[in-house]
Amino acid sequence: MSRLAATFEKLAQSGRKALIPFVTAGDPKPEFTLPLMHALVDAGVDVIELGVPFSDPMADGPVIQRASERALAHKMSLSKTLALATEFRKTDQKTPLVLMGYLNPIEAMGYENFANAAQRADIDGVLTVDLPPEEGEHSAELLRERGVDTIFLLAPNSSHERIHKMATIGSGYLYYVSLKGVTGAGHLNVQDVETKLNEIKSITSLPVSIGFGVKDAETARTISSLGDGVVVGSALISKIENNLDDLESAKSEIIKLLTSMRQAMDS
């Protein structure tokens, strides 16, 4: 069983939901990320989504855009992100790691090279924002052959047929984008999420994590109750952005927010 499947199964057995932080690799500088990842695990997260910086993050709001820009200013890249993952695995063999990013760095590396590298780095899942199933079947197959899950995005306007398609090609979990908009947007509607989640759950038994617009413990609690996990990104990265000259404070504020989310979700 894959690390992701095992994680979600264990959570389900204990009636808990996955807390999934997103951080951009190399933000604000490469040496900050590895200790941060271990600290995230200590704070009780279940899966880490590691953002691969890209020059043109079209689906992201300004907070994650700027995180990419900071990381790229330090020459962060897909191959360096994979190296970071390898380092992380040396001391943590338990926490599933999902790479999240855009397609062009993978195009540049080559699909097969990337799949091999992801396997070597012991990556558990890959989510490529601009690679929908229509274009992504080959990539998903290469990854599947190497034991790496392909995670697809679902949106509020995804049709029944598309949900079915992504549940068939995808594995690990599905990532439900809670609103029409970019990451970090502020108009998440709980009622809408609940309605769509019911539809998704009627189609697939894959775990569904919900993200975009989750800012605080209260939202995390409400949203996590509707699915199997909650993803929080921009709210964490804001802590880095607001403490660029004091990264220890950034880290402790991130941990504080995640701890409060964990408590709210488990209560």
CB nearer to other proteins: give 24 or 77.
Answer: 77
Spatial distance between the Cα atoms of 118 and 99, rounded to a whole number of angstroms: 9
48 near 37, Cβ under 8 Å? yes
Closest CA to 172 of 100, 220, 93: 100
Known catalytic membership, residue 241:
no
Active-site position among 27, 42, 56, 60: 60
Nearer to other proteins, 155 or 247 (CB): 155
Contact residues: other proteins, CB under 8 A: 54-59, 61-62, 65, 69, 72, 77-79, 102-109, 129-132, 134-135, 152-159, 162, 177, 180-182, 185
CA separation for the pair 123, 99 (Å, rounded): 7
Between 63 and 265, CB nearer to other proteins: 63
Tell me the closest approach of the beta carbon of residue 264 to other proteins, in angstroms: 28
What is the nearest approach in angstroms of other proteins to the Cβ of residue 247?
23
Q: Note whether 106 and 142 are within 8 A (CB).
A: no
Distance in Å, CB of 201 to other proteins, minimum = 18
The question of whether 130 is a catalytic residue gets the answer no
- Is the four-CA dihedral 67, 72, 73, 75 of positive or negative sign? positive
Closest approach, Cβ 151 to other proteins, in A, equals: 12
Sheet holding 229-232, edge to edge: 149-150, 125-128, 97-101, 48-51, 18-24, 229-232, 208-211, 174-177, 153-154
Nearer to other proteins, 5 or 59 (CB): 59
Active centre residues (catalytic): 49, 60
